[in-house]
Amino acid sequence: MVFSFNTTYKQLDPDLYSRVAPKNIDNPEILSINDGLCADLGLDAAKLNAHILAGQDLIEEPIAQAYAGHQYGSFTVLGDGRAMILGEHVHAGDRYDIQLKGSGRTPYSGRGDGNATVSSMLREYLYSYAMQNLNIKTSRSLAVIETEEAVERRQTEPGAILVRVMNSHIRYGTFQYVAAQVSDELPRFTDYVIDRHYPQLKTEDRTYLEFFDAVMQSSIEMVVDWLRVGFIHGVMNTDNMSIDGETFDYGPCAFMNYYDEETVFSSIDKHGRYAFGNQRPILRWNLERLAEALQPLCTQSALTSNELEAKLDEFEDRFDAQYYTMMRRKLGINSDGEKELVDEFVEWLRTSNADYTNTFLELEMPGTFDDPVFVTAEFERLRNKLTAVGLDEELMQEANPRYIPRNYLVEEALNEYIETGNLSKLKGLLTVLEDPYTSMDLDSQFQQPPPREFDAEYATYCNT
Protein backbone atom coordinates (compact mmCIF):
# COMPACT_ATOMS: atom_id res chain seq x y z
CA MET A 1 0.00 0.00 0.00
CA VAL A 2 0.90 3.67 -0.07
CA PHE A 3 0.53 5.88 2.99
CA SER A 4 -2.43 5.44 5.34
CA PHE A 5 -2.83 8.92 6.81
CA ASN A 6 -4.80 9.95 9.88
CA THR A 7 -3.33 13.28 10.99
CA THR A 8 -4.38 14.02 14.55
CA TYR A 9 -2.17 17.13 14.82
CA LYS A 10 -4.75 19.01 12.74
CA GLN A 11 -7.21 18.61 15.64
CA LEU A 12 -5.08 20.96 17.76
CA ASP A 13 -5.25 24.75 17.88
CA PRO A 14 -4.70 26.14 14.35
CA ASP A 15 -2.04 28.48 15.76
CA LEU A 16 0.21 25.42 16.09
CA TYR A 17 0.52 24.80 12.36
CA SER A 18 -0.13 26.14 8.88
CA ARG A 19 -1.65 24.33 5.92
CA VAL A 20 0.86 24.24 3.09
CA ALA A 21 1.57 22.76 -0.33
CA PRO A 22 4.85 21.30 -1.63
CA LYS A 23 6.50 23.12 -4.52
CA ASN A 24 5.89 21.86 -8.03
CA ILE A 25 8.56 19.52 -9.38
CA ASP A 26 8.54 18.46 -13.01
CA ASN A 27 10.83 15.43 -13.04
CA PRO A 28 11.65 14.15 -9.56
CA GLU A 29 14.07 11.22 -9.40
CA ILE A 30 14.49 8.76 -6.55
CA LEU A 31 18.18 8.53 -5.64
CA SER A 32 17.79 6.17 -2.71
CA ILE A 33 14.90 4.42 -0.98
CA ASN A 34 15.06 2.54 2.30
CA ASP A 35 13.49 -0.85 1.60
CA GLY A 36 13.81 -1.95 5.23
CA LEU A 37 11.91 1.10 6.43
CA CYS A 38 9.26 0.52 3.77
CA ALA A 39 8.72 -2.94 5.22
CA ASP A 40 8.59 -1.61 8.77
CA LEU A 41 5.90 0.87 7.72
CA GLY A 42 3.90 -1.70 5.76
CA LEU A 43 4.54 0.16 2.50
CA ASP A 44 4.91 -1.31 -0.97
CA ALA A 45 8.12 0.26 -2.28
CA ALA A 46 7.06 -0.48 -5.86
CA LYS A 47 4.06 1.83 -5.44
CA LEU A 48 6.04 4.69 -3.92
CA ASN A 49 7.00 6.53 -7.07
CA ALA A 50 8.93 9.80 -7.12
CA HIS A 51 5.81 11.94 -7.49
CA ILE A 52 4.19 10.49 -4.37
CA LEU A 53 7.41 10.75 -2.36
CA ALA A 54 8.01 14.35 -3.46
CA GLY A 55 4.49 15.40 -2.47
CA GLN A 56 3.24 15.89 -6.03
CA ASP A 57 0.39 13.40 -5.66
CA LEU A 58 -1.15 14.37 -2.31
CA ILE A 59 -3.29 12.10 -0.18
CA GLU A 60 -4.28 14.95 2.15
CA GLU A 61 -3.28 18.57 2.75
CA PRO A 62 0.17 18.84 4.36
CA ILE A 63 0.99 21.04 7.36
CA ALA A 64 4.06 22.91 8.56
CA GLN A 65 4.47 23.06 12.33
CA ALA A 66 5.08 26.17 14.38
CA TYR A 67 7.55 25.98 17.27
CA ALA A 68 10.12 28.05 19.11
CA GLY A 69 13.59 27.35 20.41
CA HIS A 70 16.67 28.54 22.16
CA GLN A 71 19.22 28.70 19.35
CA TYR A 72 22.72 28.97 20.80
CA GLY A 73 21.12 30.31 23.97
CA SER A 74 18.79 32.91 22.40
CA PHE A 75 15.03 32.42 22.31
CA THR A 76 13.42 32.63 18.86
CA VAL A 77 9.95 31.89 17.48
CA LEU A 78 10.38 29.48 14.59
CA GLY A 79 8.60 26.89 12.49
CA ASP A 80 9.13 24.46 9.64
CA GLY A 81 10.87 26.76 7.17
CA ARG A 82 11.75 24.09 4.63
CA ALA A 83 9.74 21.10 5.83
CA MET A 84 6.15 19.95 5.88
CA ILE A 85 4.32 16.92 7.22
CA LEU A 86 2.50 15.00 4.50
CA GLY A 87 0.50 13.19 7.15
CA GLU A 88 0.56 10.80 10.08
CA HIS A 89 0.90 7.28 8.71
CA VAL A 90 -0.75 4.56 10.81
CA HIS A 91 0.50 0.98 10.60
CA ALA A 92 0.02 -1.95 12.98
CA GLY A 93 -1.26 0.38 15.68
CA ASP A 94 1.72 2.72 15.48
CA ARG A 95 1.73 6.30 14.23
CA TYR A 96 4.51 7.99 12.25
CA ASP A 97 5.00 11.49 10.88
CA ILE A 98 5.91 11.43 7.19
CA GLN A 99 7.74 14.70 6.58
CA LEU A 100 9.25 16.26 3.47
CA LYS A 101 12.42 18.27 3.98
CA GLY A 102 13.44 20.68 1.22
CA SER A 103 9.95 20.80 -0.22
CA GLY A 104 9.65 24.56 -0.60
CA ARG A 105 8.69 27.67 1.30
CA THR A 106 6.22 27.83 4.17
CA PRO A 107 4.86 30.71 6.26
CA TYR A 108 7.84 30.13 8.58
CA SER A 109 10.57 30.36 5.92
CA GLY A 110 11.49 34.00 6.57
CA ARG A 111 14.29 34.81 4.13
CA GLY A 112 14.92 31.14 3.38
CA ASP A 113 14.13 29.54 0.05
CA GLY A 114 12.69 26.34 1.52
CA ASN A 115 15.08 24.20 -0.52
CA ALA A 116 17.77 21.67 0.32
CA THR A 117 20.89 20.51 -1.47
CA VAL A 118 21.32 16.94 -2.58
CA SER A 119 24.50 16.51 -0.53
CA SER A 120 22.80 17.59 2.73
CA MET A 121 19.85 15.27 2.16
CA LEU A 122 22.08 12.32 1.27
CA ARG A 123 24.10 13.10 4.40
CA GLU A 124 20.99 12.92 6.60
CA TYR A 125 19.91 9.72 4.88
CA LEU A 126 23.30 8.17 5.63
CA TYR A 127 23.57 9.38 9.24
CA SER A 128 20.05 8.40 10.23
CA TYR A 129 20.60 4.97 8.65
CA ALA A 130 23.83 4.57 10.61
CA MET A 131 22.25 5.67 13.90
CA GLN A 132 19.36 3.25 13.48
CA ASN A 133 21.79 0.37 12.98
CA LEU A 134 23.95 1.57 15.87
CA ASN A 135 20.82 0.90 17.97
CA ILE A 136 20.21 4.56 18.77
CA LYS A 137 16.68 5.94 18.71
CA THR A 138 16.50 8.21 15.69
CA SER A 139 14.46 9.70 12.91
CA ARG A 140 14.67 7.55 9.80
CA SER A 141 15.00 8.46 6.15
CA LEU A 142 12.63 6.79 3.75
CA ALA A 143 13.97 8.28 0.52
CA VAL A 144 15.99 11.01 -1.15
CA ILE A 145 14.47 12.54 -4.28
CA GLU A 146 16.55 14.76 -6.54
CA THR A 147 14.94 17.75 -8.22
CA GLU A 148 16.04 19.57 -11.36
CA GLU A 149 16.52 22.95 -9.68
CA ALA A 150 19.88 24.42 -8.71
CA VAL A 151 20.29 25.29 -5.02
CA GLU A 152 22.98 27.68 -3.87
CA ARG A 153 24.67 27.18 -0.53
CA ARG A 154 28.46 27.03 -0.19
CA GLN A 155 28.37 25.79 -3.76
CA THR A 156 25.64 25.30 -6.33
CA GLU A 157 24.16 21.81 -6.27
CA PRO A 158 21.08 20.00 -7.49
CA GLY A 159 18.13 20.32 -5.14
CA ALA A 160 16.72 17.37 -3.23
CA ILE A 161 13.89 16.37 -0.92
CA LEU A 162 14.32 14.01 2.04
CA VAL A 163 11.34 11.94 3.19
CA ARG A 164 11.82 11.77 6.95
CA VAL A 165 9.96 9.45 9.33
CA MET A 166 9.57 10.04 13.07
CA ASN A 167 7.21 9.02 15.83
CA SER A 168 6.44 12.72 15.74
CA HIS A 169 8.22 16.03 15.22
CA ILE A 170 7.12 17.48 18.58
CA ARG A 171 10.08 19.16 20.25
CA TYR A 172 11.01 20.89 23.48
CA GLY A 173 10.61 24.00 21.35
CA THR A 174 7.00 23.11 20.52
CA PHE A 175 6.19 23.40 24.22
CA GLN A 176 8.12 26.67 24.35
CA TYR A 177 6.00 27.97 21.48
CA VAL A 178 2.72 26.92 23.10
CA ALA A 179 3.71 28.46 26.44
CA ALA A 180 4.76 31.73 24.79
CA GLN A 181 2.11 32.09 22.09
CA VAL A 182 -0.99 30.06 23.02
CA SER A 183 -0.59 29.34 26.73
CA ASP A 184 -4.29 28.54 27.23
CA GLU A 185 -3.72 25.56 24.94
CA LEU A 186 -0.90 24.09 27.07
CA PRO A 187 -2.96 21.61 29.15
CA ARG A 188 -4.75 20.26 26.06
CA PHE A 189 -1.53 20.11 24.06
CA THR A 190 0.32 18.35 26.87
CA ASP A 191 -2.49 15.82 27.18
CA TYR A 192 -2.25 15.22 23.42
CA VAL A 193 1.50 14.58 23.64
CA ILE A 194 1.06 12.23 26.60
CA ASP A 195 -1.67 10.30 24.77
CA ARG A 196 0.55 10.00 21.72
CA HIS A 197 3.95 9.29 23.25
CA TYR A 198 3.50 8.27 26.88
CA PRO A 199 0.01 6.74 27.16
CA GLN A 200 1.12 4.60 30.09
CA LEU A 201 1.26 7.77 32.21
CA LYS A 202 -2.48 8.41 32.02
CA THR A 203 -2.97 6.16 35.06
CA GLU A 204 -0.49 8.15 37.17
CA ASP A 205 -1.65 10.47 39.94
CA ARG A 206 0.95 13.07 38.96
CA THR A 207 0.66 12.79 35.19
CA TYR A 208 2.35 16.07 34.17
CA LEU A 209 5.22 15.51 36.60
CA GLU A 210 5.67 11.96 35.37
CA PHE A 211 5.59 13.26 31.81
CA PHE A 212 8.53 15.58 32.48
CA ASP A 213 10.30 12.70 34.24
CA ALA A 214 9.77 10.43 31.22
CA VAL A 215 11.02 13.05 28.76
CA MET A 216 14.11 13.62 30.89
CA GLN A 217 14.81 9.89 31.02
CA SER A 218 14.36 9.33 27.28
CA SER A 219 16.65 12.31 26.58
CA ILE A 220 19.31 11.06 28.96
CA GLU A 221 19.26 7.66 27.26
CA MET A 222 19.59 9.34 23.87
CA VAL A 223 22.58 11.51 24.80
CA VAL A 224 24.36 8.69 26.64
CA ASP A 225 24.00 6.64 23.46
CA TRP A 226 25.61 9.53 21.56
CA LEU A 227 28.54 9.42 23.97
CA ARG A 228 28.78 5.65 23.53
CA VAL A 229 29.55 5.91 19.82
CA GLY A 230 31.29 9.30 19.72
CA PHE A 231 28.44 11.16 18.02
CA ILE A 232 28.37 14.96 18.08
CA HIS A 233 24.94 16.34 17.22
CA GLY A 234 26.38 19.77 16.57
CA VAL A 235 23.22 21.84 17.08
CA MET A 236 21.45 20.90 20.32
CA ASN A 237 19.07 23.85 20.21
CA THR A 238 15.79 23.21 22.03
CA ASP A 239 13.96 23.09 18.70
CA ASN A 240 16.15 20.09 17.77
CA MET A 241 15.33 18.12 20.92
CA SER A 242 12.64 15.47 20.44
CA ILE A 243 10.05 15.05 23.18
CA ASP A 244 10.29 11.30 22.48
CA GLY A 245 14.07 10.91 22.70
CA GLU A 246 14.59 10.53 18.94
CA THR A 247 17.81 11.88 17.47
CA PHE A 248 16.97 14.14 14.55
CA ASP A 249 18.05 17.12 12.45
CA TYR A 250 21.36 15.80 11.12
CA GLY A 251 22.80 19.14 10.06
CA PRO A 252 26.33 19.92 11.25
CA CYS A 253 26.68 16.54 12.94
CA ALA A 254 29.78 14.33 12.86
CA PHE A 255 31.52 11.51 14.69
CA MET A 256 34.53 12.07 16.92
CA ASN A 257 37.64 10.19 15.87
CA TYR A 258 40.45 11.09 18.27
CA TYR A 259 39.16 11.43 21.82
CA ASP A 260 38.82 15.04 22.80
CA GLU A 261 35.82 16.31 24.74
CA GLU A 262 36.26 19.75 23.15
CA THR A 263 35.77 18.33 19.65
CA VAL A 264 33.60 20.61 17.51
CA PHE A 265 33.07 20.22 13.78
CA SER A 266 30.16 22.63 13.29
CA SER A 267 31.23 25.71 11.36
CA ILE A 268 28.83 27.94 13.30
CA ASP A 269 29.63 26.68 16.81
CA LYS A 270 32.46 29.15 17.33
CA HIS A 271 32.62 28.78 21.11
CA GLY A 272 32.11 25.03 21.44
CA ARG A 273 28.68 25.25 23.03
CA TYR A 274 27.74 21.89 21.52
CA ALA A 275 31.15 20.17 21.72
CA PHE A 276 31.23 16.43 22.36
CA GLY A 277 31.85 16.86 26.08
CA ASN A 278 29.26 19.63 26.46
CA GLN A 279 26.31 17.53 25.33
CA ARG A 280 25.57 16.45 28.89
CA PRO A 281 25.40 19.95 30.45
CA ILE A 282 23.53 21.28 27.42
CA LEU A 283 20.91 18.56 27.86
CA ARG A 284 20.44 19.73 31.47
CA TRP A 285 20.16 23.34 30.25
CA ASN A 286 17.59 22.35 27.62
CA LEU A 287 15.54 20.44 30.20
CA GLU A 288 15.50 23.56 32.34
CA ARG A 289 13.98 25.43 29.41
CA LEU A 290 11.37 22.70 28.96
CA ALA A 291 10.51 22.92 32.67
CA GLU A 292 10.05 26.68 32.26
CA ALA A 293 7.66 26.05 29.37
CA LEU A 294 5.63 23.71 31.58
CA GLN A 295 5.37 26.29 34.37
CA PRO A 296 1.89 27.52 33.31
CA LEU A 297 0.61 24.03 34.18
CA CYS A 298 1.52 24.80 37.79
CA THR A 299 -1.41 27.22 37.99
CA GLN A 300 -3.79 25.05 35.99
CA SER A 301 -3.20 21.64 37.59
CA ALA A 302 -1.86 19.99 40.70
CA LEU A 303 1.71 20.24 39.36
CA THR A 304 3.98 22.59 41.35
CA SER A 305 7.19 24.37 40.38
CA ASN A 306 8.93 22.81 43.38
CA GLU A 307 8.17 19.36 42.00
CA LEU A 308 9.68 20.27 38.61
CA GLU A 309 12.79 21.64 40.30
CA ALA A 310 13.09 18.48 42.39
CA LYS A 311 12.95 16.37 39.23
CA LEU A 312 15.65 18.50 37.61
CA ASP A 313 17.79 18.02 40.71
CA GLU A 314 17.79 14.28 39.96
CA PHE A 315 19.42 14.87 36.57
CA GLU A 316 23.09 14.51 37.55
CA ASP A 317 22.64 11.27 39.48
CA ARG A 318 20.44 9.76 36.79
CA PHE A 319 22.79 10.75 34.00
CA ASP A 320 25.73 9.34 35.97
CA ALA A 321 23.91 6.04 36.48
CA GLN A 322 23.13 5.74 32.76
CA TYR A 323 26.61 6.86 31.72
CA TYR A 324 28.56 4.49 33.99
CA THR A 325 26.32 1.57 33.03
CA MET A 326 27.13 2.34 29.39
CA MET A 327 30.88 2.72 29.99
CA ARG A 328 31.05 -0.51 31.98
CA ARG A 329 29.52 -2.30 29.01
CA LYS A 330 32.03 -0.71 26.64
CA LEU A 331 34.81 -1.98 28.91
CA GLY A 332 33.19 -5.39 29.34
CA ILE A 333 32.62 -4.98 33.09
CA ASN A 334 29.75 -7.26 34.03
CA SER A 335 29.11 -5.87 37.51
CA ASP A 336 28.19 -2.70 39.33
CA GLY A 337 30.88 -0.44 40.73
CA GLU A 338 34.32 0.10 39.18
CA LYS A 339 33.53 3.81 38.77
CA GLU A 340 37.13 4.73 39.58
CA LEU A 341 38.46 2.38 36.92
CA VAL A 342 36.08 3.83 34.34
CA ASP A 343 37.22 7.34 35.27
CA GLU A 344 40.85 6.26 35.06
CA PHE A 345 40.33 4.85 31.59
CA VAL A 346 38.52 7.97 30.37
CA GLU A 347 41.38 10.07 31.73
CA TRP A 348 43.78 7.94 29.66
CA LEU A 349 41.62 8.66 26.60
CA ARG A 350 41.89 12.38 27.33
CA THR A 351 45.65 12.36 27.63
CA SER A 352 46.38 9.89 24.83
CA ASN A 353 43.95 11.39 22.29
CA ALA A 354 43.51 7.84 20.96
CA ASP A 355 40.94 6.95 18.33
CA TYR A 356 37.76 6.45 20.34
CA THR A 357 36.16 3.70 18.28
CA ASN A 358 39.30 1.63 17.73
CA THR A 359 40.44 1.84 21.37
CA PHE A 360 37.68 -0.48 22.54
CA LEU A 361 38.23 -2.87 19.65
CA GLU A 362 41.90 -3.00 20.57
CA LEU A 363 41.00 -3.81 24.17
CA GLU A 364 38.80 -6.63 22.98
CA MET A 365 41.22 -7.91 20.30
CA PRO A 366 44.82 -6.94 21.16
CA GLY A 367 47.07 -6.31 18.17
CA THR A 368 44.24 -5.32 15.83
CA PHE A 369 45.58 -1.83 15.12
CA ASP A 370 49.11 -0.72 14.37
CA ASP A 371 49.02 2.40 16.51
CA PRO A 372 51.86 3.30 18.92
CA VAL A 373 49.37 4.48 21.54
CA PHE A 374 48.20 0.89 22.02
CA VAL A 375 51.66 -0.47 22.94
CA THR A 376 52.43 2.04 25.68
CA ALA A 377 53.05 0.91 29.23
CA GLU A 378 50.06 2.91 30.47
CA PHE A 379 47.65 1.25 28.05
CA GLU A 380 49.01 -2.18 28.97
CA ARG A 381 48.65 -1.38 32.69
CA LEU A 382 45.00 -0.40 32.19
CA ARG A 383 44.35 -3.48 30.09
CA ASN A 384 45.72 -5.66 32.90
CA LYS A 385 43.48 -3.93 35.45
CA LEU A 386 40.49 -4.41 33.19
CA THR A 387 41.32 -8.08 32.63
CA ALA A 388 40.69 -8.69 36.32
CA VAL A 389 37.17 -7.24 36.28
CA GLY A 390 36.08 -6.81 32.68
CA LEU A 391 36.78 -7.33 28.98
CA ASP A 392 33.70 -9.53 28.67
CA GLU A 393 33.64 -9.99 24.89
CA GLU A 394 29.88 -10.39 24.58
CA LEU A 395 29.21 -7.13 26.43
CA MET A 396 31.87 -5.29 24.45
CA GLN A 397 30.64 -6.51 21.08
CA GLU A 398 27.13 -5.25 21.87
CA ALA A 399 28.33 -1.81 23.01
CA ASN A 400 31.24 -1.06 20.68
CA PRO A 401 30.67 -0.62 16.94
CA ARG A 402 33.29 -1.84 14.50
CA TYR A 403 32.26 0.87 12.07
CA ILE A 404 31.02 4.44 12.34
CA PRO A 405 30.49 6.91 9.50
CA ARG A 406 34.06 8.19 9.33
CA ASN A 407 33.79 11.85 8.40
CA TYR A 408 36.32 11.74 5.60
CA LEU A 409 34.63 8.74 3.98
CA VAL A 410 31.27 10.50 4.15
CA GLU A 411 32.76 13.55 2.41
CA GLU A 412 34.38 11.37 -0.24
CA ALA A 413 31.06 9.67 -0.97
CA LEU A 414 29.13 12.93 -1.19
CA ASN A 415 31.78 14.60 -3.34
CA GLU A 416 31.82 11.63 -5.69
CA TYR A 417 28.12 12.07 -6.35
CA ILE A 418 28.32 15.84 -6.78
CA GLU A 419 31.28 15.59 -9.15
CA THR A 420 30.39 12.46 -11.13
CA GLY A 421 26.80 11.49 -10.37
CA ASN A 422 28.09 8.16 -9.02
CA LEU A 423 26.57 6.76 -5.80
CA SER A 424 28.89 3.76 -5.48
CA LYS A 425 30.87 5.08 -2.50
CA LEU A 426 27.70 6.09 -0.70
CA LYS A 427 26.20 2.67 -1.31
CA GLY A 428 29.41 1.08 -0.05
CA LEU A 429 29.12 3.03 3.20
CA LEU A 430 25.48 2.08 3.59
CA THR A 431 26.38 -1.59 3.12
CA VAL A 432 29.02 -1.44 5.86
CA LEU A 433 26.76 0.53 8.20
CA GLU A 434 23.95 -1.97 7.76
CA ASP A 435 25.67 -4.10 10.42
CA PRO A 436 28.19 -1.87 12.20
CA TYR A 437 28.83 -4.34 15.04
CA THR A 438 30.21 -7.06 12.78
CA SER A 439 33.72 -6.76 11.36
CA MET A 440 33.93 -7.66 7.71
CA ASP A 441 37.61 -6.89 7.36
CA LEU A 442 39.78 -5.65 10.24
CA ASP A 443 42.13 -3.94 7.80
CA SER A 444 39.24 -2.21 6.05
CA GLN A 445 39.44 1.49 5.29
CA PHE A 446 36.08 1.79 7.03
CA GLN A 447 37.82 1.19 10.37
CA GLN A 448 40.64 3.63 9.80
CA PRO A 449 40.55 7.14 11.27
CA PRO A 450 41.57 10.06 9.07
CA PRO A 451 44.91 11.84 9.32
CA ARG A 452 44.91 14.14 12.33
CA GLU A 453 45.33 17.11 10.01
CA PHE A 454 41.97 16.28 8.43
CA ASP A 455 40.14 16.52 11.76
CA ALA A 456 41.93 19.75 12.63
CA GLU A 457 40.47 21.44 9.54
CA TYR A 458 37.18 19.56 9.07
CA ALA A 459 33.96 21.59 9.30
CA THR A 460 30.30 20.69 8.86
CA TYR A 461 27.47 23.02 7.88
CA CYS A 462 23.72 23.44 8.44
CA ASN A 463 23.07 24.06 4.74
CA THR A 464 19.80 25.87 5.46
By annotation, the residues acting in catalysis are: 239
Backbone angles phi, psi at 224, to 5 degrees: -60, -35
User: In this structure, are residues 28 and 56 in contact, taking their beta carbons and an 8 Å threshold?
Assistant: yes
Distance CA 219, CA 207 (A): 18
Give CA–CA dist 23/429, Å, rounded: 31
The dihedral through the CA atoms of 380, 229, 243, 277 has a sign that is positive
Q: How far apart are CA 309 and CA 424, in angstroms?
A: 52
First to last CA, the chain: 33
Taking the mean position of all CA atoms in its chain, how far away is CA 211?
21
Q: What are phi and psi of 5, to 5 degrees?
A: -95, 140
CB atoms within 10 A of CB 274: 23
Q: Which residues contact 120 (CB under 8 A, 6 or more apart)?
A: 153, 160, 251, 461, 463
Q: What is the DSSP letter of 336?
A: S
- The DSSP bridge partners found for residue 146 are 29, 160
